[in-house]
Amino acid sequence: MKTAILIPCYNESKTIKKVVCDFKKVMPHADIYVYDNNSTDGTDKIAEENGAIVRYEFKQGKGNVVRSMFRDIDADCYIMVDGDDTYPAESAVEFERLVLEKNADMVIGDRLSSTYFEENDRPFHNIGNKMVRWLINLFFKSELKDIMTGMRAFSYDFVKSFPIVSKEFEIETEMSVFALMNNFSIEEIPIDYRDRVEGSESKLNTYRDGYKVLRMIYTLVRDKRPFFFFTTASLILLFIAAVYFVPIYLRYRYYGYVLKIPTLIVVSTVVMVAAVTFFTGVVLHVIKKQNNAQLENHLTLIRLNKKINNSYFRFL
């Protein structure tokens, strides 16, 4: 059984040596991959000198890096961790066990139930993490404790079936929702979190990246729960139409004729748009169910191919 440690990096020269060495010590059997994302501080050289397999992704953004890692590497267990030395390598042993022995498809390192709020002195990051967690749990009917953690483990099935859309830091949110909506097995374990060492700077911009994450949540609700999204939009339109229609109707009952014909025309148009919106949700819901069925078939083929390959290598 092969385990791969995946470390996406952008200018992490202050910490990458310790991260690589810690994982080599804790998991000597694992292959450690450092994917350098246009670093200018020698991160790649430091990683290579300390025994990591260094590869490059020249399209900027964490989502682009993760896409390359998932496409390039074949393993039975994937453990992804940031290169900023904020996550303990010791936790990776339990992550690996849950994937290989308990058949978990995604293991989430839960910082928020542990030391995150004590270690992190950026209040808007704390608020943002709580808000994203609340929104995801609300819209996707889950009870996840940490949505945006940078330490996770994945099964082969998850990695090879996850169609990555995100280009930057929205990737963690997209991963969580994909697992929730496609019935993948999710485990969460609390992990200690420590703040960055002095001289190491976060690449996450609170406002810019926070906006991108919220936009991603909006997109995921629309795409992954189309019936809910478009039915809600339809009901809002019907409510607005009713607010303007009721006074017209009451005056019609009293006077015997319509006083505001232009308003009535607009109300009728809004009702028609609401009907079209509702049936759009119905159609997209059916398409989504078909896509889910195709994903199940895809997962079956992935497992079949994996068994065939394993049998072939045993024969050799």
In terms of residue numbers, what domain contains 196? 3-224
- The yes-or-no verdict on residue 303 having pLDDT over 80 is no
Q: What is the pLDDT of residues 232-254, one digit of tens each?
A: 999 999 999 999 999 888 888 87
Kindly state the DSSP code that residue 199 receives in the 8-state scheme.
Answer: T
The span from the first CA to the last CA of the chain, in angstroms, equals 17
Q: Give the chain's radius of gyration (CA, Å).
A: 24
Q: What is the pLDDT of residues 121-131, one digit of tens each?
A: 676 677 888 89
- Domain identity same for 125 and 254: no
Distance between CA 39 and CA 23 in Å, rounded?
21
Distance between CA 126 and CA 132 in Å, rounded?
10
Angle at 286 between CA 285 and CA 291, to 5 degrees: 95
Number of folded domains that form the chain? 2
- Domain identity same for 213 and 245: no
What is the structure's pLDDT at 64?
A: 94
Kindly state the DSSP code that residue 146 receives in the 8-state scheme.
Answer: -
Domain end (from 174, 204, 224): 224
Spatial neighbors of 83 by CB under 8 A, at least 6 apart, are 7, 8, 9, 12, 15, 16, 19, 34, 43
Q: What is the pLDDT of residues 152-198, one digit of tens each?
A: 999 999 999 999 988 888 899 999 999 999 989 999 999 998 887 77
Distance between CA 85 and CA 159 in Å, rounded?
24
- Domain identity same for 286 and 189: no
- Domain identity same for 217 and 230: no
Residue 181, domain CATH: 3.90.550.10
